[in-house]
Amino acid sequence: MNAQTQHPHTRQAFYRRDRRSVGLARKFAWRTLTDWAAAERGDDVLLCVSELATNALLHGVPAGRGFLLRLVLHTEGALRVEVHDSGPGEVGCPDPTPDADAEHGRGLLLVASLADKWGVGERNPGKIVWCEFLVK
């Protein structure tokens, strides 16, 4: 007997290196979540999309390039958010106690707090920073 393979839903969009891209990525993510009827954790997902897209623009997208936002809804109810960039640099563990006066350095701490899982994958060139949410 062959097990039937169920494929996840996937949507993706490419954004250029422009600060307006973060808002566009957030809107794309919201439309996708509502189309998939998976918006129950929408606020958390949108905040993580904003943080990962912002980090890509600030640290991972060289001039003349952009980043890819990919959303994947697996049949078992996990929503995966991936931001692919083509820049150098490593993503480290967030500092659990950032300086209270610092203007930066809390993005990945927020992602780690809101998402059920997060991590970094390799890409040549660049990296994939991802997070997952249980939505069903």
pLDDT digits (tens, 9 = 90+) for 32-55: 999 999 999 999 999 999 999 999
Would you state the pLDDT for residue 63? 87
The beta-strand segments (E) located in 1-49 are: 9-16
**Sheet-wide strand order for 66-73:** 9-16, 66-73, 78-85, 127-134, 117-122
What is the C-alpha separation between 75 and 84, in angstroms, rounded? 23
68, 94, 79: which is closest to 37 by C-alpha?
79
Residue among 80, 74, 67 at smallest CA distance from 111: 80
pLDDT in tens, the chain (136 residues): 444 455 679 999 999 999 899 999 999 999 999 999 999 999 999 999 999 999 999 888 888 899 999 999 998 889 999 999 998 766 666 666 656 555 556 678 899 999 999 999 988 899 999 999 998 7
Position 76 scores a pLDDT of 86
Model confidence, pTM: 0.87
Give the model's pLDDT for residue 87: 83
Q: What are phi and psi of 130, to 5 degrees?
A: -135, 160
- Is-contact 82 73, C-beta < 8 A? no
% of the chain with per-residue pLDDT over 70: 81
